[in-house]
Amino acid sequence: MITNTQKIELISKCFGRYSLSGDEKNISIVCPYCTEKGKKTTKKKLSIDLESGIFHCWVCESKGRNVGRTALKFAPNKDFAKKLVNIYGGLKKEEVEEIKEEKPKLPEDFKLITNLQGKDILKYKYHIKYLKDRGITKEHCHKMCIGVSEDFQFLNRVIFPSFDINGELNYFIARSIDPNNTFRYKNCSVSRKDVIFNHFNLDFTKELFLVEGVFDMINTPSNTTCILGSWLDESYELFKVIATNKTPVVLCLDPDARSKAYKIMEKFNTYCIPAKISLHDKKDFGDMSREEISYHVENAKHLDFAMGVRYLIKNINSGSMF
């Protein structure tokens, strides 16, 4: 018989950090559905009943009867996910055949912004206006292969695809152009830990610039990738490639992620990765001009241990540590 302790260990391997209720009947994790929809959070709001496997998120209202099926979609290790599914009811034969590494797929009618002509330009005028308002030019659209689609899942969104080292699609992000849409981002279901965004255009023998999201990449130097969030460690493919090549990096996270940035820098130092950190403190890179970004990149500094410790201590009471 599977014990609750074994269930908790398996859930932890699939989803990471968790909180256990006082009666030890429920476990809470950071909701992967919220993350998929672009909602940045570290709060553990997806509750799982350890006895039945039934789960419910109190933020996005995602729910289901077998949390293992959610693990199959989001957990990097499918073997652990399959074990979790079997604990709470098992897989049907057709489902077993479907458990393969899913490859991301763009909508069939995906069109590059730069290829729009005639009526399509009028059809997507609000998409084009949104990009212009964000400071994104035709050159940017061409460089990042930004596109659009009429598929109902991607209506009123602009799509940023990513390509692996062989030029094959390995990820995409669809950003809503509707300011009233709570779920700004719709990402594909591939684990971001396995993705090196924009890998096809990166040179790991040269200085590499790391930012949080796709909009932060717009005016950065050409050898830039986004880490698709605000954290990076040894479990990420990007970190592994950087460590293997001893790639010099400049870490340029948003000001509100400074404490995480210092911790990432400490990990770089542990692996003898030559790294500098940008200490900009007013705007995100996505809101800066090319000149402003160049200034901050040129003034990036190597980690000062005392400075990092002072920052972390200063923010202990503010809840910024994790």
pLDDT in tens, 260-292: 999 999 999 999 999 999 999 889 999 999 999
Which residues are CB-neighbours of 192 under 8 A, at least 6 positions away? Answer: 171, 228, 229, 236
Q: pLDDT (tens digit, 9 = 90+) per residue, 113-135? A: 999 999 999 999 999 999 999 99
Among candidate residues 98, 130, 147, the one where a domain is terminated: 98
Which pLDDT score is estimated for 202? 96
Contact 224, 196 (CB under 8 A): no
Question: Phi and psi of 10, rounded to 5°?
Answer: -70, -40
At residue 89, the pLDDT reads 80
Domain count for the chain, please give it: 3
Give me the pLDDT at residue 317, please. 52
Which pairing describes strands 157-163 and 185-187: parallel, antiparallel, or unpaired? unpaired
pTM of the entire structure? 0.67
Shared domain check, 287 and 221: yes
What pLDDT does residue 54 have?
A: 92
Q: In degrees, to the nearest 5, what angle opens at C-alpha 128 toward C-alphas 126 and 131?
A: 110
Domain identity same for 278 and 245: yes
Question: Are 243 and 313 found together in one domain?
Answer: yes
Helices (H), the chain: 4-15, 32-36, 67-74, 78-87, 93-98, 119-123, 125-133, 138-144, 237-245, 258-270, 290-298, 305-314
pLDDT of the residue at 219: 93
Nearest 5°: CA angle at 147, between 144 and 153? 130
Packing angle between helix 4-15 and helix 67-74, nearest 10 degrees? 30
Residues of the chain with pLDDT under 70: 1, 38, 40, 90-102, 304-322
